[in-house]
Amino acid sequence: MLRRLSLGLLASAISITSLPVIAQEDRDDYPKLYITGAAGANNPTTRTNTGKVGTFEEYTNPGASAELGFGIDFEGLRIEATYAIDASQLRGYTNVRGIDFDYISGGEVRKQSAFISGYWDLLRKKSWTPYLGTGIGYSNLDVRNFSDPGLSYNAFNRSLWGYQFKAGMSVDVSSDSKIFAEGIYRATSHFNTKDGFNNWNNASWSSWGGQLGVRVAL
């Protein structure tokens, strides 16, 4: 479903940026409101989780991501409010004795986040603009039931602090629209779980990723 959403966002971005430009005298006035949408991929990092019985490492397959929201452009400084979703699936783990196991079923992951982010656009007089950004907000982490060849583990859902860092490049398509490509690091606060056997202190659920998207002035 998320892959279809991602493809839909990219198709919409292409359609929007191809619309005719309507000249308006006040288009250069700031601040400007805009809407934004992007889709791409995420690659979760290895997590080191600790409990009374020891420490184990857990691995997750790469997945898809999407982000939608709106922002205000203050001519070089931007503020955005966005909803982001990262989807992936648990792959396996190295247990406390150093033995590797692959999960054989379940383990679907959905991390949904609401961010307030700030961006700094560089080289504003160019048709292409590199930028840096950072954001903070709320993340809901939902992990479904999963199992390895010998054991089954409980699902869990956690409400966590979320944050992100971005670096990207935007390119002018018209006076009202830009397309962009960006790299992203997203993470959460630490959290505790009980898998049905032991209690664990889990490291941040973090990932590296990239997105392609569009921003359109209102």
Residue 12 lies in a domain: yes
- What percentage of the chain exceeds 70 in pLDDT? 87
List of residues 6+ apart from 98 with CB closer than 8 A:
none
Residue 127 lies in a domain: yes
Query: Residue 101's domain spans which residues?
Result: 2-18+31-217
Instruction: Output phi, psi for 130, to 5 deg.
Output: -70, 150
Strand locations in 9-155 (E): 32-44, 47-51, 54-73, 77-94, 100-102, 105-106, 108-121, 128-143, 146-147, 152-153
Least confident of 10-19, 75-84, 195-204: 10-19
What's the whole-number average pLDDT of the chain? 88
Say which CATH number the domain at 193 has. Answer: 2.40.160.20
State the pLDDT confidence band at 163, using cuts at 50, 70 and 90.
very high
Phi-psi region of 196 (alpha: psi -120 to 50; beta: other; left: phi over 0): left
Segment 104-131 shows an average pLDDT of 93
Segment 144-158 shows an average pLDDT of 91
Taken in order 186, 191, 195, 197, is the CA torsion positive or negative?
positive
How much is the pTM? 0.83
Segment 146-164 shows an average pLDDT of 93
Q: Strand, helix or coil at 28?
A: helix
Number of domain units in the chain: 1
pLDDT greater than 80 at residue 197:
yes
Residue 25 lies in a domain: no
Segment 145-150 shows an average pLDDT of 90
Q: Strand, helix or coil at 13?
A: helix
pLDDT greater than 70 at residue 98:
yes
Residue 102 lies in a domain: yes
Residue 24 lies in a domain: no
Q: Work out whether strand 128-143 and strand 156-172 pair parallel, antiparallel, or are unpaired.
A: antiparallel
CB 27 within 8 A of CB 201: no
